[in-house]
């Protein structure tokens, strides 16, 4: 009887997980490379590109055929507690740059990530938290309040956007950068929770 109950529970859990994946809300899906400080007072910089490309729905309509979208995050390392780093203040900016006649994002030329039109800009409500699970793998998490940009009025709500994902030091890194960051800025304002090592590791599989 116990085995039957266990089998039923596992099947139910698989169904729930599958349904949750299908119901994943629109988000800004980004991938990029970051410069990470080691001392309090140092600056974090993430330069990344939106990777939705018309496959994953975005919270507002974006034209990936004619434009490239970049996301830049900056923050000051305010404190360190064990394996966690807390950045405050921290900001996020999203730019739109024409593919034809614009400048493609180039990690060797930082200005190419910010030379487009600012469509969304905001700050982290509290800290941007970076956690380390192993020497080469960890997570990041925070909540963003948008307050500027040409597309600000298109948002259903500007506040409390979950920002989360995983970072890795494995594999090829752009020269001068320390980590790869793979994450999302989610559409639905939901409670922000710490992610497990397994869920973060899956981002890089």
What number of other Cβ atoms are within 10 A of residue 79's Cβ? 11
Cα separation, 180 vs 187, whole angstroms: 23
What pLDDT is attached to residue 53?
84
Domain tally, the chain: 1
- Determine the Cα–Cα distance for residues 124 and 130; give it in Å rounded to an integer: 13
| Domain annotation covers residue 89 | yes
**Percentage of the chain exceeding pLDDT 70:** 80
pLDDT at residue 61 above 70? yes
Q: What is the pLDDT of residues 136-148, one digit of tens each?
A: 999 999 999 999 9
- Any domain includes 41: yes
pTM exceeds 0.85 for this model: no
Residues 6+ positions from 65 with CB-CB distance below 8 Å: 54, 99
Question: According to the model, what pLDDT value does residue 187 have?
Answer: 82
Bridge partners (DSSP) listed for residue 27: 186
**Residue 128 sits in which domain range?**
26-204
- The more confidently predicted of residues 16 and 67 is 67
In a domain, 20, yes or no: no
**pLDDT at site 52:** 94
Where is average pLDDT lowest: 54-63, 163-172, 188-197? Answer: 188-197
Q: Using the predicted structure, report yes or no on whether residue 152 has a pLDDT greater than 90.
A: yes
Asked whether the predicted pLDDT for residue 197 surpasses 80, the reply is no
CB atoms closer than 10 angstroms to residue 72: 20
Q: How confident is the model at residue 199 (pLDDT cuts 50, 70, 90)?
A: low
Give yes or no for residue 18 having a pLDDT over 90.
no
Query: Does the residue 12 lie in any domain?
Result: no
Lowest-pLDDT range, 118-127, 146-155, 160-169, 182-191?
182-191
Q: 166-195 pLDDT, tens per residue?
A: 999 999 999 999 999 999 999 865 544 444
In a domain, 117, yes or no: yes
The predicted structure's pLDDT at residue 54? 78
pLDDT recorded at residue 10 = 31
Asked if residue 64 is part of any domain, the answer here is yes
The chain-wide mean pLDDT, for the chain, equals: 85
**Straight-line distance from the first to the last Cα atom of the chain, in angstroms, rounded to the nearest whole number:** 37
């Amino acid at each position: 009887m116990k085995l039957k109950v266990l089998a039923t529970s596992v099947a139910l859990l698989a169904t729930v997980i599958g349904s949750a994946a299908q119901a994943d809300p629109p988000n800004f899906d980004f991938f990029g490379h970051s410069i990470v400080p080691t001392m309090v007072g140092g600056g974090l910089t993430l330069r990344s590109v939106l990777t939705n490309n018309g496959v994953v729905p975005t919270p507002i309509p974006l034209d990936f055929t004619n434009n490239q979208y970049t996301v830049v995050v900056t923050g000051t390392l305010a404190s360190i507690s064990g394996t966690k780093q807390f950045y405050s203040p921290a900001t996020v900016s999203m730019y739109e740059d024409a593919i034809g006649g614009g400048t493609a994002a180039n990690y060797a030329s930082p200005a190419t990530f910010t030379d487009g039109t600012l469509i969304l800009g905001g700050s982290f409500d509290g800290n941007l938290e970076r956690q380390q699970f192993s020497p080469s793998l960890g997570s990041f998490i925070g909540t963003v309040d948008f307050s500027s940009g040409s597309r600000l009025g298109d948002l259903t709500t500007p506040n409390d956007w979950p920002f989360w994902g995983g970072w890795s030091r494995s594999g090829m890194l752009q020269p001068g950068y320390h980590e790869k960051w793979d994450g999302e800025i989610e559409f639905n304002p939901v409670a922000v929770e710490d992610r497990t090592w397994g869920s973060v590791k899956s981002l890089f599989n």
